[in-house]
Chains A and B, each alone.
Chain A
Amino acid sequence: MSIAKTKGYQQVLEWLKKDGKKPFKFQEEAWSFYAKGYSGLVNAPTGFGKTFSLFLAVVIEGINLAEVKDKKRAKDRLQLIWITPLRSLAKDIARAMREVLAELELDWHVGVRNGDTTQAEKLQQKKSMPEILLITPESLHLLLAQKNSSTLFESLKCIVADEWHELLGSKRGVLVELAISRIKGLQKNAKTQHLRVWGISATIGNIEEALDVIEPDVNAKRTIIKAKLNKKIVIKSILPDDIETLPWAGHLGLKLAYKLLPIIEKSKTTLIFINTRGQSEMWYQHLLNIEPELAGRIAIHHGSIDFELRNWIEDALHTGLLKAVIATSSLDLGVDFKPVDTVVQVGSPKGVARFLQRAGRSGHSPGETSKIYFLPTHALELVEAAAIKEAAKENNIESREPVIMVFDTLIQYLVTLAIGDGFDDKTVYEEVKNTHAFKMLLPEEWNWVMQFITSGGDSLTAYQEFKKVAKDEEDGLWKVKSRQIAMRHRLHIGTIVSDAMLKVKFLSGGYIGMIEEYFVSKLKAGDSFTLAGRILDFVHIKDMTVIVRKSKQKKAMSPSWLGGRLPLSSNLGSVLRKKYNEVLDKTHQEEELDVVYPLFLVQQERSHVPRNDELLIEMINNKEGFHLFAYPFEGRLVHEILAALVAYRLSKLVPITFSLAMNDYGFELLSDIEIPMDDAIAYEVFSPENLTEDISLSINSTEMARRKFRDIACISGLVFQGYPGKYVANKHLQSSAGLFFNVFNDFDKHNLLLRQAYDEVFYQQLEEPRLAAALHRIQQSTIVITYPKRFTPLSFPIKVDSLRANMSSEQLENRIERMKVEVFK
């Protein structure tokens, strides 16, 4: 029977008609394919009802089935699992869904389950699941970690991964893949296979691959539905009156803030996107300082702000109460705030896809135009603005590379199953092997992972007395017996994305938000800092809670949240190189490039402006030491490896020690002795020959793998620092990822987690083909070496960067001789 004739379909059409609407073509397509048993991917811009394309598909089927089926048992209720990457999305989608269900008179419940859900609500859900469950990937794993959870999914019809492009490129995407594989397996076991899996994705470069990840079974019925709707976007840069106004480096951009005021004034509601949480706090303070009138009409929204406050802001956005909201990526995704008609991006968004998505937050209805302003934080960002405009015009949108072979995530998942109902290793091996992330998993690697969680490690290394996962003799399933281990693991599942965070509370009570432990550790009593737009005095830490009081200070430091830096995408990198040519040749159209032209003259006068077919190297000596700057314009990630590679190759020529820094344009090697460099050496150190081997060696001699291992140790459960406010870590079990890295390096070289750390540097960070391509390009280019007397507009931003790595080919003892201890005087 064609879907159009069913009762459910007719009912939905009638409801839409009542509002004077009719379905978009892609929505009808999705309903129809879903009814025919397809899995797939819906690709549509935000603001065109992509939620309804799948939600209504399930509802239509629900109405049709209600006809033939009588009262269901309570535990059979769960019909649809809707996975959202952000907590803030769930509330909004739930509200929209509930409204529709009421209109359609379908007696379904919509439940939300994530870090903000109360314990009482979770208990209620355990007794009786709602028909529709909105959940984050972490909470879905927590659900699998519950006893008797394996019976919950018997009548589940559909899993939807919303904003799939956002999850795809991260380990959270792997969490989704694994959870789906288990639920499929459970249905197969219960012989109730009616599950369809769908993703909803914005446009990305590798949309076919995105489908392969969410539904890896090539024999399943699969399809991609594309909405052929064009969203109009207007992009405008906020230009300084004079290029001198803009600093050469920095990422705050407060100098142009006054130019925002008229934009905020004439718009209904403005969303101001700032790349990091710390900077968003500073912007909030600054806007209030320059325009006190805004008090009470602007708010700040980021992931570390109290749930209640975030709720209030989101409600106020809906009702149009607020004039402007300063946001980080916490408001990036599909929330539908109707009154928002203007978006401002402060600082480079570093990627075309992200920029377009943020633009899409405004004019969030079909037919409306999205308006986005770009506010540069330093002079060279104007070139990036021009590059983004061009890339957006040509729809040159990045791919999201799916994450594969992450043993830390697999280990976490298996322990999760073991604290739930337990698992059969043969069954789960097959399930895991059928996911996209682990399709290359070898039997010996699986055996290693099983040994790691059952006996501590492989047979080559002894792990006496190790206890974690053990076989239950009664049913033959692998389980965790210790309640303490189970509790620690449950608290741990959410830590995939966050560092150790502490709650912040007033002395007099009242919760403000969360703050990174790292930042707090540097505070002394009486120091003041800003959070959620308030200035606070630090009092003390008690029971994992930071106690503060209101400050009388006017200014304070802003907390630094780690992970605020985004790397430039390769798409943007190549457009950027082209733009550099255009500025100098004056062949460009963009007004941004006119403004930045004087800066290029300074660069040209002090050194040289690199053309498309050139690689510029600047050698600068000053009292800090000997600097080498090189500008391949390949983005931070590639430069990180390239810097290590060049440093390694130079260090083979003479014993030398480097400190490395990089940004999206280039990198710096800094040494206390003269760096050997001429044309011949330059071509040699940038040679693509022996690349793989030299990279491995250079990665081994820097701290990159060690840094990657921090996340890995945390996800795989090796380190646990306690959970904010809920649990004080056992003092006898405190350790650090760095310590584990050393221990495995010295005592258990075969450890797969160690290998993963090196692999992650090698494959994910490095994008070896991209690096090889860059080196081939450089070999074909002219290498220009200049010896500027002063820092240049290009070198200055790298020089002031504080994130540094080290590389040395010198004897440790010789180095210490020249160094000194920092002494308190």
Chain B
Amino acid sequence: MTITIRNEELILAKERAIYLPKEQLLAISDLHLGKAAHFRKAGLQVPSTLAQNDLNRLSDLLNEYQPKTLLINGDMFHHEVNTDIDDFEHWKEQYPTLKFVLVKGNHDKLDQKQYQKLGIEIQDPSYCTENFCFIHDAVKCTEENLYPISGHIHPGISVYGKAKQSLKFPCFYFGNDYAVMPAFSAFTGLSLVKPKATEQVYAITPTKVIKV
């Protein structure tokens, strides 16, 4: 689905990403790499294939859009360095020319050197383009002239129908004051957003992105 905000085109992908053709930039948020492994270390059984599946989905996106920059809008790594992150390092070798940019989120607490070693450029607190300010938590944005695009809350939307029907999806939220991206990782819950009448929400189904 392609939408226009501030006269700039944004492509909303069902794989939970936004592509900015003008910037040749692919943005995702809340990747939470290493979350599954962190759970396993603490004795909770979460399959390793989960994280690999997230990376495969990211590969599909990179192949489709061929961006110059991959922007991760916060919470790239869940907690600490573990096997999931070793897997990421290995996966990343396939993309030697791609620029990795991380906007720091509340979970991103690794040592500066570790980001360097992984070849990830850090932006704190935000990464700005001509029209947008990518920031993990929208309320912290100080760029008054730009439209903030945030992550952090893992937004979801409930839709209601006649006959007491309801459905719940992860979503993109484009509010009057700021936007929120869906969490990229499949191992995340949803926090429901309640849009005002003038705001746009795009639900993500397994097959496409739909305006609701």
Contact = CB atoms under 8 A, between A and B. Distances in A.
B40 interface: yes
A410 to B, nearest CB: 14
Contacts of B5: none
23 contacts: A463-B47, A464-B37, A464-B48, A466-B40, A480-B43, A624-B162, A717-B44, A743-B50, A743-B186, A743-B187, A746-B186, A812-B167, A812-B206, A813-B207, A816-B167, A816-B203, A819-B159, A819-B161, A819-B167, A819-B212, A820-B159, A822-B160, A823-B197
B212 A821 contact: yes
Interface stretch (B76-84, B96-104, B122-130): B76-84
Interface in A634-667: 657-659
B201 interface: yes
Contacts of B157: 821
A740 B188 CA distance: 10
A813 B189 CA distance: 22
A495 to B, nearest CB: 15
A805 to B, nearest CB: 11
A475 interface: no
Q: 4 shortest A-B CB distances, which residue pairs? A: A625-B163, A468-B43, A819-B161, A672-B162
Nearest to B188: A739
A815 interface: yes
B39 A733 contact: yes
A658 B163 CA distance: 8
A823 B195 contact: yes
A220 to B, nearest CB: 37
Contacts of B188: 739
A733 B79 CA distance: 10
Given A456-B40, A467-B41, A659 B164 contact: yes
A463 B40 contact: yes
B163 to A, nearest CB: 3
A461 B47 contact: yes
B165 interface: yes
Interface in B49-73: 49-50, 53
A747 B44 CA distance: 15
A553 interface: no
Interface in B163-212: 163-167, 186-189, 194-197, 201, 203, 205-208, 210, 212
Given A463-B47, A821-B201, A816 B212 contact: yes
Contacts of A467: 40-43
A778 interface: no
Interface of A: 452, 456-457, 461-468, 480, 482, 484-485, 488, 624-626, 657-659, 670-672, 717-718, 730, 732-733, 735-736, 738-740, 742-744, 746-748, 804, 806, 812-813, 815-816, 818-825
Nearest to B46: A743
Given A462-B47, A816-B205, A821-B212, A672 B40 contact: no
A815 B203 CA distance: 13
Interface in B126-169: 157-167
Given A464-B83, A730-B42, A804-B164, A747 B189 contact: no
A485 B43 contact: yes
Contact of B163 (A456, A671, A733, A824): A671
B165 to A, nearest CB: 6
Contact of B210 (A488, A804, A816): A816
A130 B78 CA distance: 48
Interface of B: 35, 37-50, 53, 78-79, 82-84, 157-167, 186-189, 194-197, 201, 203, 205-208, 210, 212
A820 B159 CA distance: 5
A526 B194 CA distance: 22
A825 B38 CA distance: 42
A622 to B, nearest CB: 10
Contact of A824 (B37, B196, B212): B196
A629 B174 CA distance: 42
Contacts of B203: 816
Contacts of B212: 816, 819-821
Nearest to A671: B163
Nearest to B197: A823
Nearest to A626: B163
Contacts of A738: 189
A813 B162 contact: no
A746 to B, nearest CB: 8
A813 B210 contact: yes
Given A732-B79, A743-B50, A820-B212, A465 B158 contact: no
A815 B165 contact: yes
B40 A465 contact: yes
Contacts of B50: 743, 747
A419 to B, nearest CB: 11
A408 to B, nearest CB: 12
A672 B37 contact: no
Contacts of B208: 813
A420 B186 CA distance: 36
A302 B51 CA distance: 45
A823 B40 contact: no
Contact of B47 (A457, A806, A819): A457
Given A812-B206, A823-B194, 9 more contacts: A463-B45, A465-B83, A466-B41, A468-B43, A484-B42, A746-B53, A813-B205, A819-B159, A821-B159
A595 B197 CA distance: 52
Nearest to B162: A672
B44 A821 contact: no
A364 B210 CA distance: 65
Contacts of A735: 39, 44, 187, 189
A91 B37 CA distance: 45
A742 B206 CA distance: 14
A735 B39 CA distance: 10
A137 to B, nearest CB: 23
A320 to B, nearest CB: 50
Contact of A806 (B165, B197, B207): B165
Nearest to A734: B189
A653 to B, nearest CB: 17
B55 to A, nearest CB: 14
Nearest to A719: B44
A744 B187 CA distance: 11
A804 B160 CA distance: 14
A500 B61 CA distance: 40
B189 A732 contact: no
Contacts of B166: 806, 819
Between A463, A464, A739, A822, the greatest number of chain B beta carbons within 10 A of the residue's beta carbon is seen for: A464
A482 B161 contact: no
Nearest to A623: B162
B64 to A, nearest CB: 21
Nearest to B45: A456
B40 to A, nearest CB: 4
B82 A465 contact: yes
B194 to A, nearest CB: 5
Contacts of B49: 461-462, 747-748
Given A485-B42, A624-B164, A732-B38, A816 B48 contact: no
Nearest to B157: A821
Contacts of A825: 196-197
Given A464-B40, A467-B41, A823-B197, A818 B167 contact: no
Nearest to B158: A822
A458 to B, nearest CB: 10
A265 B157 CA distance: 55
Given A732-B78, A739-B189, A747-B53, A670 B163 contact: yes
Contact of A823 (B47, B53, B196): B196
Nearest to A736: B189
A730 to B, nearest CB: 7
B48 A462 contact: yes
A746 B82 CA distance: 23
Given A456-B40, A456-B45, A747-B53, A820 B205 contact: no
Contacts of A672: 161-163, 165
A824 B195 contact: yes
Nearest to A744: B47
